[in-house]
Amino acid sequence: MATVLPSPPRVGMVSLGCPKNLVDSERILTQLRADGYAMSPDYAGADVVLVNTCGFLDSAKEESLEAIGEAIAENGRVIVTGCMGKEADVIRARFPNVLAITGAHEYEQVVEAVHEAAPAAISPYVDLIPDAGLKLTPRHYSYLKISEGCNHRCAFCIIPQLRGDLVSRRPDAILREAEKLVAAGTQELLVISQDTSAYGIDIRREPRVWKGREVVPHMTDLARELGRIAPWVRLHYVYPYPHVDQVIPLMAEGLVLPYLDIPFQHASPSVLRAMKRPANDAKVLDRIRSWRQACPDLAIRSTFVVGFPGETEADFEYLLQWLDEAQLDRVGAFRFEPVAGAPANDLPNPVPEEVKEERYARLMERTAAISTARLQAKIGRTLDVIIDAVGEEGATGRSYADAPEIDGEVQLRDAAHLREGDIVPVLIEEADEHDLYGVPA
C-alpha cells in the first residue's frame, strides 16, 4: 500500500522593519520548514500567521500594530515576534486574542509557539529544506547578519534595550553561511548588523580556522574573506571607526564593493554630543577625502536626524554646509521622533513640528541636488550592473552604488535577453536625481 504523506500545516509571515528583522524572519521560516511546515503566501491559506514587528519608532510601532490587526481580521490565529515583543502588554491590550508574543531574535520561543498553535507531523520521506535555508529576498542577493546587539548608547535609540549588547558570530560560521548562499545562487551579499565596524571586538581572542588558515574576527578580515566567496559584497551600518580605513584598499582592489553605508546622523558637534555620538566632524571630512583619493569610485550613503532636541538654526545650517563638503551619494533623513525609553525624550528645548518639517524639506532638497550632480557625472561611463528584474522592453538593475530597496536603480533598454542575477557592463546614457539609464555594453 502506498504511503500517504500528511499535509503539513501552513505558516504565513509578515516581516516589518529593517533587513536585520528580515534575516530573523528567514531564520524562523527555515527552522519551521525543517520542522515540517509549509509556507503560505496569503492569510487565507495559513494555519497560523507570524508578524515580525519593528519597535524602533512610535510610527513603526503603530505600523506593527496595524499589521497585527490586519492579520487577526484576515486569519485570526496570530503569533507576534520581533522588537515590539518587549511591549507585550501594549499588544495584548489592543489584541487580547494574540496566541503568543516573543521578543527579537528569540527563535526557539517563536518556533515553540508555532508548534503549539499548529502541530506538524514530520515525514521522513520529504526533503524539507534547501541547504541555504529559506529566503525572503530574490535568489540573487542575500542579507548576511554578522552580529546582534549594539554597545553604543545613543540618546535617541533603544536598540540595546531591544536586542542587547554586541554579540558577534564566529567568522567561520559566517563564511560557511556565505558559501551556502552563493552555491544556491546568491550573487550579492549584503553584510548587516547593528554596528558592522564593531564586529568581533567581543571575540577578538578567538580566531577560527577557515580553509586551512586562521581568520580573525574583525571587519577587515571578514570582508576580505567574503570578497573571495561572492561576486559582490556590500557593507551596511558601518560606523567610521579608524579601522574602516583598512577596508578602503579592499574596495580599490575590487574584493568589496566601493560602497559604505555610514549612519552619521548629524554634523554639528553640539548636536552630536547631545546624541552621545562621536563629534569630530572635521576629521570625518578629511577621512572621506582620503577614502576617495584611494578609491575614487567610492559611494557613501548615510542617514540624518533633523529636529533633535536643542538643534538650533545654526546647527542645521552647519549640517547643510557639511553635506556640501562631504558630497554624499545617497542621503535619507528622519524627523526626530520621541521613542519610549530613549534618554533624548528628557532633553530640553524640543524643536517644534513645523520647524522639523521645514528643515527636513530643506535637507532633502540640498541632498537631491548633490545626488543629481554625482549621478550626472556617471553619464558616458560603463558600470557593472546586477539585474533585479527583466521585462519585455528592458530590465531594471543596480550599480555598485545602489543597495536594494533603499538607493536608486539603473533602467536598461534593449535588455530583454538578460536574466535576474546577471552582472553585466552597462553604458550609462542618462541620469536624474535618483536613477541611471543605459544600455548593455
Cell of 368: 537631491
Tens of pLDDT, residue by residue over 232-282, are 999 999 998 888 999 999 999 999 999 999 999 999 999 999 999 865 666
Find out whether 246 and 220 touch, Cβ atoms under 8 Å.
yes
Cα separation values, 194 from 64, 151, 335, 405, 429, Å: 20, 9, 20, 18, 37
Tens of pLDDT, residue by residue over 304-322, are 999 999 999 999 999 999 9
How many whole angstroms separate alpha carbon 236 and alpha carbon 407?
A: 12
Residue 1 pLDDT > 60, yes or no?
no
Q: What is the dihedral of CA 286, 291, 297, 298, to 10 degrees?
A: -90
The pLDDT value given to residue 86: 84
> What's this model's pTM, rounded to 2 decimal places?
0.75
Closest CA to 108 of 166, 24, 42, 201: 24
List the end-to-end C-alpha distance of the chain, in Å, as a whole number: 60
The pLDDT value given to residue 281: 60
pLDDT band at 221 (very low <50, low <70, confident <90, very high): very high
Q: Phi, psi (5° rounding) for residue 341?
A: 95, -5
Helix ranges restricted to H, 77-199: 88-94, 107-117, 159-163, 171-183
Closest CA to 230 of 136, 133, 144: 144
The pLDDT value given to residue 296: 96
Tens of pLDDT, residue by residue over 336-377, are 988 878 888 889 999 999 999 999 999 999 999 999 999 999
Long-range contacts from 282-285, C-beta under 8 angstroms, 24+ separation = 284/240, 284/326, 285/322, 285/325, 285/326
Residue 69's identity, in one-letter code, is G
The pLDDT value given to residue 287: 94
Instruction: Classify residue 106 as exposed, middle or buried by CB count within 10 Å of its CB (0-12, 13-18, 19+).
Output: middle
Find out whether 324 and 351 touch, Cβ atoms under 8 Å.
no
- Three-state SS string across 180-223, please? HHHHCCCCEEEEECCCHHHCCCCCCCCCEEECCEEECCCHHHHH
pLDDT band at 128 (very low <50, low <70, confident <90, very high): very low
